[in-house]
Chain A
Amino acid sequence: MQDGFLTIYWRDMIRFVRFKSLLVSSLLQPALWLAFFGIAMASNFDAVMAGMPVPEGAKAVGYLTFMGCGIIAMTTLFTSLFSGIVILFDKNWGLMREILASPVSRNHIVAGIALSGVTKSFIQAVIIMGFGVLIGAAFFAGFTPLRIVIGIAGVLPLGSDCHFHGKPGGAPGCHDASYHADLFCKQCPLPD
């Protein structure tokens, strides 16, 4: 069966959208972080940094932009972590046995959960970016529209770390898929 991962994905997304309060808080929380940290500190930091020289080849961005990337990274990290842990809970509560006894391949289970983790953190990243732009962060500063599209399209399959394109110095991102796979392999050895 070739679409087993979509079934796993479907189930995990059902659980994600099932509880409205949890859903709303998980979507609003990152934006609130951005608002609290970003707006509260941006003016101070911007004032301090204004007089400092910009190193050769680097591009100066506002504090809010810098902070926004960090918040996206943090949110993605935690969402990824918790999405992977779902498998552990499933296993502890015995729910995994239904899936393990079915013809779905083990790889599809990992792929499905990873995909739902990517989706969740991607939605959150988009919300943070939208909100960030609204309050004045400059993501993708100086990028042509084509580069932005390529940037987003290029990293989508691996995880929602397109936002790092806006980060000065291009810090390495966290790839959701690898997090899931890692969690999965270490904690949930599955019988064939």
Chain B
Amino acid sequence: MEIHPEYSCMAGPVSAGDAPIILVEALEHTYGGFKAVDGISFSVKKGEIFSFLGPNGAGKSTAINVLITLLALQNGKATIAGHDVKTDPQKIRESIGIVFQDITLDRDMTVWEILEFHGRLYGMPLAERRERIEELLNLVQLDAKRNELTKKLSGGMKRRLEIARGLMTRPLVLFLDEPTIGLDPQTRMRMWEYIRSVNREGTTIFLTTHYMDEADQLSDRISIIDHGKIIITGTPWQLKNTLGQDLIYLETSDNPAARRLLESLPSVREITEKKQGIVLMVNEDGTRLLPGVIDTLREAGIAITTINLKKPTMDDVFVFYTGKEIRDEGQQPARGGFLRAARH
């Protein structure tokens, strides 16, 4: 599902200046009998931060592994910077940087050696390599740790070093697979800052995450992905707006009656029924609408026991479109979601 046609990858001819840097069409990947990626299509524009948001096991990493040429492309078509993933993996390897989901630093090498090794792997000339290492050590503030073995670094430092390594070769696209998994909140914030500053310098970022707030705050556009399929794509703002401007949660003495009654109100976009109450998605400012809602119910003789009003969050969007909460493996900061809370 696409929100606006102009964001659709298939929408009309793209001008040369605005050509997508990643273009994926009907990508499928099957492990044994399990379809991990089930026909996804999307495009990423040059210079944007694009996120795959989905629970663990949704197929995000599989999709990334196909794009970075670590898994063979089975079905569909994918191009990065004009190079075909299937026929020209060498060109793609030269033009991308990757930060893997789990730490892939050699414990027995120093910070400087990790970067030097990476630069040499990609055939960077000596002078350029040395200069770039200094630049990156400054960027990720690991200058003082240059001769430290990586096993002595903290989790956040390791991640920063991996990001620096991913940037070593000035890639056109940087793939970040769950970049802040297992990091404390302060470190996550700083990591986001690094990612943003890297993006400002012109690197296109492709991110996967199962953190709602990360997708929400970092991305220019998000694709919500579950069971190997893209469910919806749009800017964080657009996604949240599909749920209306505000969400009103009500518990009343007669929920079905209240629902029928309120559905006729002009600003109410949609009403979903929860276990104990109902959630109104409304098109106008909820604070102004609320008195009218209360009056309507009171006139009909329906008593209100609980009332709550909030802006839709990415959690709400996710629950709305996937019909469930994210399957998390810990670390997800507890955040009260309306649609979520209502389900308990």
Asked if B109 contacts A14 (CB within 8 A), the reply is yes
Asked if A97 contacts B108 (CB within 8 A), the reply is no
Asked whether any CB of chain A lies closer than 8 Å to the CB of B285, the reply is: no
Asked if B98 contacts A7 (CB within 8 A), the reply is no
Q: Which residues of B contact A93 (CB under 8 A)?
A: 104
Given A1-B123, A4-B121, A103-B90, do A18 and B70 touch, yes or no (CB 8 Å)?
no
Q: How many residues of B contact A (CB 8 A)?
A: 27
Report A's interface with B, CB cutoff 8 A: 1, 3-4, 6-7, 10-11, 14-15, 18-19, 93-95, 97-104, 191-192
Asked whether any CB of chain A lies closer than 8 Å to the CB of B156, the reply is: no
- Give residues of chain B (193-245) contacting chain A, Cβ–Cβ below 8 Å: none
Contact of A10 among B72, B100, B120 (CB under 8 A): B120
A119 to B165, alpha carbons, bound, how many Å?
A: 28
Q: Which residues of A contact B106 (CB under 8 A)?
A: 11, 15, 95
Q: Which residues of A contact B94 (CB under 8 A)?
A: 103
Using a Cβ cutoff of 8 Å, how many contacts connect chains A and B?
Answer: 65
A97 to B102, alpha carbons, bound, how many Å?
A: 11
Min CB distance B62 to A, Å, is 14
From A3, A7, A15, A101, residue with most partner B Cβ within 10 Å: A101
Asked if B117 contacts A7 (CB within 8 A), the reply is yes
Q: Which residues of B contact A11 (CB under 8 A)?
A: 106, 109, 113, 117
A182 to B89, alpha carbons, bound, how many Å?
A: 26
Q: Which residues of B contact A14 (CB under 8 A)?
A: 108-109, 113
- Give residues of chain B (55-74) contacting chain A, Cβ–Cβ below 8 Å: 68-72
Query: Top 10 closest A-B pairs, CB basis?
Result: A1-B123, A7-B120, A102-B121, A103-B93, A94-B104, A103-B94, A101-B68, A11-B117, A98-B104, A104-B121
